[in-house]
Amino acid sequence: MTELTMAKAINAGLRAALAADEKVLLMGEDIGTLGGVFRVTEGLKAEFGEGRVLDTPLAESGIVGTAIGLAMRGYRPVCEVQFDGFIYPGFDQITSQLAKLTYRHEGSQSFPVVIRVPYGGHIGAVEHHQESPEAYFAHTAGLRSISPATPHDAYWMIQDAIASNDPVMYFEPKSRYQRRGEVDLENRGAAMHESRVVREGTEVTLVGHGAMVAVLLQAADIAAEEGTSVEVIDLRSLSPIDYEPILASVQKTGRLVVAQEAPGNVSVGSEVAATIAERAFYSLEAPVLRVSGYDTPFPPAKLEGVYLPDADRVLEAVDRSLAY
């Protein structure tokens, strides 16, 4: 065991992947000499050279397009999109090309491209720097989408993503970059696409991903002080979603609250809510409830505390669920 911040854990995972396979390349704006705006790639260019840690032009479409070509020639490129809101210039390359090329080649050609996306709020940034675009990509057939909530998962899941022969969207909750946690460098734990129960309870199930998991654990602590036993599940994988731990939990608790930073309309949370309502209808004692960001563009930084779900909003949903 060692204790690392999430940023350092991702850095260590990238270093391990670069050392293990010379075909692994890192690409992105300012990731080399600077080490990335969040310093996630700090020191890797000096260690592995500019031929494997590439500073690119400010052109997301070009970054992804180049990565597709590299993958076709046997490389495993890892692209960094500097901020969540900057991903849209590369959206066509990701969803129209990268996601579909293996299918188009009838499985004869794999495209092992990883796209790292720092996402989410809580950093007091300006427009285009605090968005949660994960639903666009979880919706897109041909892409795998994952999001770690802890340094341990960040370390292992980035390596799993790079080892995958399918394209992987790797969503990094930037508000957790500097939060420390234990990392077991020997034992992986849950596989890349497994959901995980992170706190056991008996009365209400809470489900979330990324930075929201910490909020759910905070809400569970407060609920426990008030005499309510809450179970918390970290989705970890957004596409595909591992529903078995959620179904087992709902069969026990009879209640489900799904929370996320992203707007609620047509979202990952919507899909979880619909699927559980469909597959566990007779286990539910109350409607599945959702807590999310509002269906508006992300607001100015001073209003992010109003926009983003916090423990109070989660607990209000818990109270409503228990009231049925």
Say what the pLDDT of residue 112 is: 98
Query: What average pLDDT does this structure show over 21-35?
Result: 97
Average pLDDT over residues 50-72: 97
Q: pLDDT exceeding 70 applies to what percent of the chain?
A: 100
Residue 205 in 3-state DSSP? strand
Q: What is the structure's pLDDT at 126? A: 84
122 is known as an active-site residue: no
In this prediction, residues 143-153 reach a mean pLDDT of: 98
Q: Predicted confidence band at 140 (pLDDT cuts at 50, 70, 90)?
A: very high
* Spatial separation of the C-alpha atoms in residues 173 and 134, rounded to whole Å: 11
Q: Is the pLDDT of residue 275 over 90?
A: yes
Q: What pLDDT score does 223 carry?
A: 98
What pLDDT is recorded for position 54? 96
The domain 2-183 having CATH identifier 1.20.140.10: the answer here is no
What sign results for the dihedral spanned by CA atoms 30, 31, 32, 35?
A: positive
Delimit the CATH 3.40.50.970 region(s) of the chain.
Answer: 2-183
Q: What is the pTM of this model?
A: 0.96
3-class SS letters over 93-157: HHHHHHCCHHHHCCCCCCCCCEEEEEECCCCCCCCCCCCCCHHHHHCCCCCEEECCCCHHHHHHH
294 phi and psi angles, rounded to 5 deg: -80, 160
pLDDT value of residue 234: 98
Tell me: pLDDT of 128 over 90: no
Q: Is the pLDDT of residue 253 over 90?
A: yes
Strands 256-263 and 230-234: unpaired
Q: Mind listing the pLDDT tens digit for each residue in 185-204?
A: 999 999 999 999 999 999 99
| Six token digits for residue 236 | 């970890």
User: CB of 42 within 8 A of CB of 14?
Assistant: no
For the chain, give every residue range classified as CATH 3.40.50.920.
Answer: 196-323
Strand ranges across the sheet with 289-293:
196-199, 230-234, 204-208, 256-263, 289-293
Provide, for the chain, the percentages of residues in helix, strand and coil under a 3-state DSSP scheme, each rounded to the nearest 5: 40, 20, 40
pLDDT confidence tier of residue 255, bands split at 50, 70 and 90: very high
Active-site entry in 105, 122, 128, 129:
129
In the prediction, which pLDDT does 182 show? 97
Interatomic CA distance for residues 233 and 246, integer angstroms: 7
Tens digits of residue pLDDT in 277-308: 999 999 999 999 999 999 999 999 899 999 99
The mean pLDDT of 250-258, rounded to a whole number, is 98
CATH class, range 196-323: alpha beta
pLDDT at 311 exceeding the cut of 90: yes
